[in-house]
Structure formats: structure tokens, C-alpha cells
């Protein structure tokens, strides 16, 4: 195998593929990165058996040559050293060559590295997904779905199913839901081009976080295919394959109250900044608890009290308050995460009492929903 490639293209592909490579894998060859050269371009693959990422660099695209003098072949290269070597090479092009003894030579300018490679035939074959369940989404829309939900997955391995995001495609509606049992984040969108449907799959939060980092902000389509134990995301030059979590995701619909006793409309930024300030003195507390109290005509008071540190109180004007008076305590971190995820200037918060879960959603849009359980304070 031999080829000359643009270093910037190589770096970006290597960085993507590295997100799937772990030094703590039970299969030694998976600590390496597979490189395959063909006349159409160069393909890099990384996998830790939970997620697999393929990144393709076309030899030529839109009249721009990325790789040339290609002699087809494949090798597995040590991922521990390869990224750093490529990043620090002196010139804009890199020549990579292998010989019959699996030795890899990397040249750029006057720098030359020789690494021991491994036989690419020993690298596990990525499964080919045979499925009728597939649909397309714009990449930036997928990123927005991930961003608005994945932060609410559980970080505790005691209930593994909650460490993932529950995804459903039914009646041309795609929904993402995440909960750690103290809060819930959900978003749904209409999907026009879809084949088939699936009632419930759970994608590890870790996989979606890595996918989010790889995808560019663009309106190009990404194709999503689902089988009973894997999901594949195919963008233009990247394939991202993740296993699904086993088990039944809890029925979250019944957590969402269908009526409210107090409704507040408020500017997202105003509330976010006020809660952020109040939380400065709540850091010692295990939940960073702050208290919200309705105090009269379109006014709220946000307070926090740490006996060892001090207390803070701030009044904030809101657009409207309807219904009963209210005092409620909650985690400032959860509230700030939720307000950040809503991504609208105005939010509506619906309360059904001091000890019941409350809902945050955009003032004029029901497709995004955040739910938080209050904290009991004595």
C-alpha cells in the first residue's frame, strides 16, 4: 500500500476515527486504526466494539485532489502514536507506505517515521446492516435533537437503560427522550422521508455525544438505519455505527402532568441569569438547590440559602403569572441545563404544586419539553 495525502484532510479523519478507539478493549487489534487505500480514496476505521467509525477521504472531490499516487492495500497502525505523528509533521502532504513485512513508513518533508503495523485481515469486519427501517434527517436537525436531550441521560450504571436516549419513529414523527429519573428532556419532529418505523430503541448517550462532535453543522442529509441491536448514521464521508442498549425503556408519558395550577411566562435569559447568580451560594449543597416564590404582580423571587456560606435573594419580572401562588425548590443545575436546551427566547413553565414535577417548554412550541422533579426542603 502506498499513497500521498493532504495532511489537513488526514488529521480531520484521524480525529473522527479516534473517538471510537479505546486502549481498554478486550480485542488487542482494536487499539489500532485500520487504513485502506483504493483508487477511489482512503478509508480509516476505528472501533471499540460498542461504536465503530469509518471516515472516507475521496482521492478527488470537486476538482480538488486529496490523495494521489495510490497503490491499493490495507494495514492496521498503532493508534496510540499515529495521530500525534500526523499532527506534528512538517509539510502539507504526507506519504504513507507499507512493505510485505507490515512495516509502515510515514514521510513528510525531511521527517520519516517507521512504525510496526498489523495485518488488516485480522481486523474484525464491521457488520453490514440489512434493514428496511431507515430515514433521512438534516444533519443540523439531528445535532439539535441530540443537544436538547442527551444531557439528561443518567450517569449511574445502576440502571443501564437510563444511560441512553430513547428514540421512536411512529406515524412519521421522530421523538427523542432522555431521563435520569430526576429530570426528563424530550423533543419530537415530523419526518417526511421514512421507510418503516420502530416503537422504541435506546442509543447509548456516550455514542450520541461522540456523534455530535463528529457531525458538521450543515443542512446535508444524514441517513439513519436501525436493526434490532444496532443503529447506523451515514453522512457524506462518515459512517457511525453504535450498538443499542438492551432492555425496556420506562414509559415516560405518564410522568408528564396534563394540567397545571400555576403558569409562568418569562424571558429565558432573564431567568437563566438570575438562577445562575442564586446558585453561586448553593454550590456546597448536594443539589445546588434554589427556591422560586411568586411574590405578586408578575414578580418572582429566586433565593438560595447555605447556612455555612450565606444567602442570596433576587426579584425578577416575568411576562405573566397565572393561577395559584407557589413556593418550590429545585436543582439549579437541572434548571439551567433545561433552559439552555430549550433554545427559545421565551419559555412557559407549568407547575402542579410544590412537590409535583414541573414542565418547561418554549412559549409557542410544544415540540420541546423539559421536566424537572422538585427538591423537598424542610
What parts of the chain have a pLDDT lower than 70?
130, 284-287, 378
* pLDDT single digits (tens) 256-293: 999 999 999 999 999 999 999 999 987 765 668 999 99
The SS3 assignment for 206 reads helix
CA dihedral over 327, 328, 329, 332, signed as positive or negative: negative
Count CB neighbours of 73 within 10 A: 15
The per-residue pLDDT for 183 is: 96
Residue 126 is classified by DSSP as P
Separation CA 327–CA 320 (nearest Å)? 16
Separation CA 315–CA 159 (nearest Å)? 39
The per-residue pLDDT for 176 is: 97
Q: What are the residue boundaries of the structural domains of the chain, listed by start?
A: 2-122, 134-168+190-250, 256-372
Q: Looking at the domain 256-372, which fold is it?
A: Proliferating Cell Nuclear Antigen (3.70.10)
The per-residue pLDDT for 196 is: 72
Domain range 134-168+190-250, its CATH number among 3.10.150.10, 2.60.120.10, 3.40.50.1000, 1.10.10.60:
3.10.150.10
The per-residue pLDDT for 306 is: 83
Domains 2-122 and 134-168+190-250 share a fold: yes
Q: How far apart are the first and last CA of the chain?
A: 70
Separation CA 140–CA 72 (nearest Å)? 35
Query: How far, in Å, are 145, 249, 291, 351, 357 from residue 181 at the CA level?
Result: 20, 12, 21, 18, 11
Which CATH number is 2-122 given? 3.10.150.10
Q: In this structure, are residues 63 and 157 in contact, taking their beta carbons and an 8 Å threshold? A: no
Q: Hey, which bits of 48-119 come out as E strands? A: 51-58, 60-61, 64-65, 67-71, 73-78, 93-98, 103-108, 111-116
Amino acid at each position: 500500500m502506498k499513497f500521498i495525502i493532504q495532511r489537513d484532510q488526514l488529521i480531520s479523519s484521524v480525529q473522527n476515527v479516534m473517538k471510537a478507539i479505546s486502549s481498554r478493549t478486550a480485542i488487542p487489534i482494536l487499539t489500532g486504526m485500520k487504513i485502506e487505500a483504493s483508487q477511489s480514496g482512503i478509508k480509516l476505521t476505528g472501533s471499540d466494539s460498542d461504536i465503530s467509525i469509518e471516515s472516507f477521504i475521496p482521492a478527488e472531490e470537486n476538482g480538488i485532489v486529496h490523495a494521489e499516487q495510490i497503490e491499493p492495500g490495507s494495514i492496521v497502525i498503532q493508534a496510540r502514536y499515529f495521530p500525534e505523528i500526523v499532527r506534528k509533521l512538517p509539510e502539507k502532504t504526507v506519504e504513507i507506505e507499507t512493505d510485505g513485512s507490515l512495516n509502515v513508513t510515514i514521510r513528510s518533508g525531511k521527517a520519516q517515521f517507521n512504525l510496526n503495523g498489523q495485518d488488516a485481515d485480522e481486523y474484525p469486519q464491521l457488520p453490514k446492516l440489512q434493514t428496511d427501517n431507515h430515514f433521512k434527517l438534516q444533519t443540523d436537525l439531528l445535532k439539535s435533537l441530540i443537544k436538547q436531550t442527551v444531557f439528561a441521560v443518567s450517569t449511574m450504571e445502576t440502571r443501564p437503560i437510563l444511560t441512553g436516549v430513547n428514540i421512536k419513529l411512529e406515524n412519521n414523527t421522530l421523538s427523542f427522550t432522555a431521563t435520569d429519573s430526576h429530570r426528563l428532556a424530550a423533543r419530537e419532529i415530523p419526518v417526511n422521508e421514512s421507510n418503516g418505523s420502530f416503537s422504541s430503541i435506546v442509543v447509548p448517550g456516550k455514542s450520541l455525544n461522540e456523534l455530535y462532535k463528529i457531525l458538521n453543522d450543515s443542512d446535508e442529509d444524514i441517513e439513519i438505519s436501525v436493526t434490532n441491536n444496532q443503529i447506523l448514521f451515514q453522512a457524506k464521508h462518515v459512517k457511525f455505527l453504535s450498538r443499542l442498549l438492551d432492555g425496556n425503556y420506562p414509559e415516560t408519558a405518564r410522568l408528564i402532568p396534563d394540567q397545571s395550577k400555576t403558569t409562568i411566562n418569562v424571558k429565558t435569559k432573564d431567568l437563566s441569569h438570575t438562577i445562575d447568580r442564586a446558585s453561586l451560594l448553593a454550590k456546597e449543597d448536594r443539589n445546588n438547590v434554589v427556591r422560586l416564590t411568586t411574590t405578586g404582580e408578575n414578580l418572582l423571587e429566586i433565593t438560595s440559602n447555605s447556612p455555612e456560606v450565606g444567602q442570596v435573594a433576587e426579584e425578577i419580572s416575568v411576562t405573566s403569572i397565572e393561577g395559584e401562588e407557589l413556593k418550590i425548590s429545585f436543582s439549579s443545575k437541572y434548571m439551567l441545563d433545561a433552559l439552555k436546551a430549550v433554545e427559545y427566547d421565551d419559555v412557559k413553565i407549568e407547575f402542579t404544586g410544590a412537590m409535583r414535577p414541573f414542565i418547561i417548554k418554549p412559549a409557542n412550541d410544544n415540540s420541546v419539553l423539559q421536566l424537572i422533579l422538585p427538591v423537598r426542603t424542610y
